[in-house]
Amino acid sequence: MPHIRIVEVHEADAPLRAVYDAMLSRPIPATYRPSHGGPAGIIRAHSLDPDLLQITFLATGTFHRGDGLSWAERELIAASASRTNQCFY
Amino acid sequence: MQRASPRQRELAGFAVVMTEAPWSIDAADLDRLRAVGVSEDGVEQAICVASFFNYYTRVADGTGITFDYESPLPRLSIDLAREALPRPPPSEWNPAVDGSRVPVFARRAFAQALLEAWHAYHFDRDVLLSRRERRILVRAAAAELCDAGAVARHEDMIPRDAREHALAAYATKLTRTPWAVGAAEAATLRAHGLDDPAILAAITLIAHQNTFSRMHHGLAALATAG
């Protein structure tokens, strides 16, 4: 049970639905697509502020860009950081 | 089972230090990455990945969203009582670190405007949380990250009332021990008048500072000749 309200896709108003649709249309690896087919929880966590959601994932998504590390290496760093924080994400 | 390569071990180890003790990152840590073949582009990217995931994990913990990815990794067993590593005293902090400023990565100019916009969204507004409350959150988080510049910039952002104390306490806990932040901590903020949009604003601002302070620790190490 989340600690704050999460606006799910079926409840989303037009602005939030547009942001959700934009997030779902990103070319991302299949492993980043939850089996339920909707936006991942970490995206929906920002649902109370669609502008924040969009700005945040534009900025943070830049970690995928660059030639220095392979995708697997980026995932290794991400998993190591998350595990250190005892977090599933 | 395939063993991790030296490069993989160093990248994983770097991520752990960036997460648990970013104030300790120094030129030697970056030299270890270089020694296993990580390019300068890779070093900057490693700093960014580790820093951004210190954003995502805190938002996940603060909001309490359910993990919904398929993962081949073993299921986590969380020790809620686990303590954070001790912090060094302010006298030992690197004065070159200033997480109040937008980080600039020489090889990642494509990200600069987006980082600026993200920072501005959190700071150039007084809806949901006042500007003063935002800076109280930043100072509290930065203090836990040994971020000398951010603490100095917001040195007068000391809590004055119960609500401000609650905000600072929340920022401290979400920074130090995010795994221990749950519904009770959100309820405390609610008891001080924050609604859910304001709580989200607090969570994401604290998480944002956790990213920026870490990036600056990494950049300070980059600026030191190895």
* Contact check, Cβ <8 Å, B67/A41: yes
Which chain A residue has its CA at the smallest distance from B196's CA? A4
Task: Please name the residues in contact with B156: beta carbons below 8 A apart, sequence gap of 6 or more.
Answer: none
CA distance A9 to A39: 8
Q: pLDDT tens for residues A6-54?
A: 999 999 999 999 999 999 998 877 777 888 888 999 999 999 999 999 9
Residue numbers in A near B127 (CB within 8 A): none
Residue B101 inside a domain? The answer is: no
B100-123 per-residue burial string, b: 16 or more CB within 10 A, e: under 16: bebbebebbeebeebbeebbebbe
Residue B79 inside a domain? The answer is: no
Q: Is there a contact between B133 and B206 (Cβ–Cβ < 8 Å)?
A: no
* Contact check, Cβ <8 Å, B197/A51: no
CA distance B181 to B196: 15
Task: Tell me which residue of B50, B54, B41 sits closest to A74, measured CA to CA.
Answer: B50
Q: Is there a contact between A89 and B57 (Cβ–Cβ < 8 Å)?
A: yes
> What pLDDT shows up at residue B67?
78
For helices B131-144 and B162-176, what crossing angle results, to 10°? 40
Residue numbers in B near A82 (CB within 8 A): 53, 56-57
Instruction: Supply the range of the domain harboring residue B173.
Output: 6-65+86-94+107-223
Nearest-CA distance from A43 to chain B in Å? 10
Between A45, A74, A88, which is nearest B59 by CB? A45
SS3 at position A86 = coil
Residue B123 inside a domain? The answer is: yes
Q: Phi and psi at residue B69, in whole multiples of 5°?
A: -95, 155
Residue numbers in B near A9 (CB within 8 A): none
> What pLDDT shows up at residue A3?
96
CA distance B200 to B137: 13
Between B20, B44, B121, which is nearest A55 by CB? B121
Give the ipTM of the model, two decimals please: 0.96
SS3 at position A3 = coil
Which candidate in B36, B45, B75, B134 is best for mutational testing of the A interface (most A CBs within 10 A)?
Answer: B45
For the full predicted model, state whether its pTM sits above 0.80. Answer: yes
Q: How many domains does chain B have?
A: 1
Interface of B with A in 7-46 (CB under 8 A): 7-8, 11-16, 18-20, 38-46
Q: pLDDT tens for residues A41-89?
A: 999 999 999 999 999 999 999 998 998 999 999 999 999 999 999 987 6
Joined together, the tokens standing for residue B31 give 């030299």
Q: Flag whether residue B195 sits within 8 Å of chain A, measured between CB atoms.
A: no
DSSP state of B3: P
> What pLDDT shows up at residue B86?
97
Q: Which residues of chain B have pLDDT under 50?
A: none
Measured on CA atoms in the order A53, B123, A77, B219, is the torsion positive or negative? positive
Residue B205 inside a domain? The answer is: yes
